[in-house]
A = this chain, B = another copy of it.
Amino acid sequence: MSLDYCAPLRDMRFVIDEWIGAPEWWCGVPGWADLDAATAHQVLEEAARFVMERIAPLNAGGDLAGCRFENGELTLPEGFRASYRDYVEAGWPTLALDAGHGGQGLPYLLDVALQEMLAGANHAWLMSPGLTHGAAACLIAHGSADLRATWLPKIASGEWLTTMCLTEPQAGSDLSLLRARATPDAAHDGYRIDGNKIFITGGDHDLTENIVHLVLARLPDAPAGSKGLSLFIVPKWLEDGAAGRVRNGVHCEGIEKKMGLKASPTCSMRFEQALGWLVGEPHRGLASMFVMMNAARLQVAMQGIGHAHSAWQRAQAYAAQRVQMRAVSAPPDYAGEPGQPAPIAFHPAMRRTLLDLRAVVEGERAIGYWIGHWLDVAARHAQAREREAAARLASLLTPVAKAFFTANGFAAASDALQVFGGYGYIHEYGIEQTVRDSRVAMLYEGTNEIQAIDLLVRKVLADRGETLRALLDHMRTEAQQCGAVALAQPLGARLGALADEVGRVSGGLLRASSQDAELPYRVAGDYLALLGWLLLGFAWARAMRLACGASADDPFYAEKRATAQYFFDYPLAAFDYRLRLIEAGCQAPLPHV
């Protein structure tokens, strides 16, 4: 039995080539004419090799060793520094960066797949380069030409790592309460930053020669609240022509003892007269920061998939070889003696769990990559209208993916742990680490509760359901296409009915919210989960349709069909459960107790 991480290359190919049909679209995009499916797969195979050989083996050891913080120096576990350098040298951070900014200019869709692999193999390791993409995007969108020239090459390449300094002890979800201050320093054409920041991932470490912090702080004339925040770029080391490198006033004061991600330092930072430069307009820092946060939110969604996938994979491998109890039923080709103890993978309770996990993982992969694809469309489509529509769709889907996938990632890890019985509770089998590591993704980059409010209040109700209708049209088109394929037809019919149901419920919420301002906040979490189950229904209906077209003998497609049918038979019952809770929210008041 191997419990090592194994990248899901076959399913990635299915999703990219067939489910999304991305290569077909790529060939019409300027610069991507030569990018075919085979090339994309080569890239992913290369990435998978690096992840499996260099990153995955550091996961368990990194968890045990943790980070050391001694005499003000932060050291990451053995192997992290060397593997990170090779990661940068191989050019992985710039995979999807525009060639104009020194990147390889490949589809973001491929980067999304890379994110999934890194998260599944070693979430803590991934935390270090996790903000590179977002920081580069932020500088490209909001940095002056000067700032870009100075910082972008080293940030985008990963040569210098970045942090996002938002949270302060009194200001977590509510950034309007931030207190850090910035005062002009004319001599350096910059600002001096003072304040304390907490929960700063990679606030200090030994991976790169410099660390660049993106810090939210208030200018002297700033209005109160979140509209008075400005964004500054603040390096750990300053270049000083005469003196060489000098330390900036940025200090790591300590690291948190966390439930998981022990190989990723979470720092308390003190900024003391730290020299920095303004990114974007004064008082508009939150808008600049949101560029970073949106990129980060989809990455976090991919972490949910990575965790669920690696948990499922290990549980499946364990269940196939662990022999306990005779089985009440066995696969037709089972050669073992009846009445004798059998692999636990045959036991119905284990099959339910393993199928639940598989249905969630593969369904989410289709949806997660689809969002990545929409971001490519938003960036590269020839027509502005299509670009805008794609951006709106991705922006609607991102909070669903962030919250639904991460909640499922944690639940999947715990369900997979259960397959291991008592062994699941022991560090050696790795699955308890997945439970601990995956839990954070429901909290950071905006708690899942914040995502739900973002979805329902800002993305659905604020545009009166317009973007939602575009999404539902995709479902209805799929439902129609399923009609032509015998096995897919009933799934398509149900998908169409669910889409109608979501449309009806959303219209009802839109109308009722004007009378009952609390309503959307009462049901936002259930509404997000409702959309999540609808999206998985969409994923599996289309998967069923595609798997019927292919050679029926290929076990890959046979398993797709079986899982698609299972998903509609069993787990999709959760859609109705969420619907009931939303109806409850519409009818029953919520007491203050």
> Which residues of A are interface residues toward B (Cβ below 8 A)?
64, 167, 170-174, 176-177, 199, 256-260, 323-325, 328-332, 341, 346-352, 354-355, 358, 410, 414, 417-418, 421-428, 432, 435-436, 439-440, 442-444, 447-449, 452-453, 517-518, 521-522, 524-525, 559, 562-563, 565-566, 569-570, 573-574, 576-577, 580-581, 584-585, 587-588, 590-593
Q: In the assembled complex, which residues on chain B have CB atoms less than 8 Å from the CB atom of A585?
A: 570
Set B324, B453, B566: member contacting A173, Cβ < 8 A: B324
Instruction: Please give me the residue from chain B that is nearest to A443 by CB atom.
Output: B422
**A375 CB → nearest B CB, Å:** 27
A-B contact pairs, 12 of them (CB 8 A): A64-B257, A167-B422, A172-B422, A173-B324, A256-B425, A258-B432, A259-B435, A329-B517, A349-B521, A422-B443, A565-B591, A566-B588
Q: In the assembled complex, which residues on chain B have CB atoms less than 8 Å from the CB atom of A580?
A: 573, 576-577
How distant is the Cα of A53 from the Cα of B3 in the complex, in angstroms? 44
CB pair A593 B559 closer than 8 Å: yes
CB pair A257 B426 closer than 8 Å: yes
CB pair B521 A590 closer than 8 Å: no
CB pair A452 B257 closer than 8 Å: no
CB pair A257 B428 closer than 8 Å: yes
How distant is the Cα of A448 from the Cα of B421 in the complex, in angstroms? 10
CB pair B443 A424 closer than 8 Å: yes
Instruction: Please give me the residue from chain B that is nearest to A576 by CB atom.
Output: B580
CB pair B329 A258 closer than 8 Å: no
CB pair A525 B173 closer than 8 Å: no
Q: In the assembled complex, which residues on chain B have CB atoms less than 8 Å from the CB atom of A427?
A: 256-259
Q: In the assembled complex, which residues on chain B have CB atoms less than 8 Å from the CB atom of A447?
A: 418, 421
CB pair A325 B418 closer than 8 Å: no
CB pair A584 B569 closer than 8 Å: yes
How distant is the Cα of A447 from the Cα of B418 in the complex, in angstroms? 8
Instruction: Please give me the residue from chain B that is nearest to A558 by CB atom.
Output: B593
CB pair A577 B573 closer than 8 Å: yes
Q: In the assembled complex, which residues on chain B have CB atoms less than 8 Å from the CB atom of A177?
A: 324, 341
CB pair B426 A348 closer than 8 Å: no
How distant is the Cα of A348 from the Cα of B350 in the complex, in angstroms? 36
How distant is the Cα of A332 from the Cα of B591 in the complex, in angstroms? 11
* A522 and B348 contact, Cβ closer than 8 Å, known pairs A422-B444, A593-B358: yes
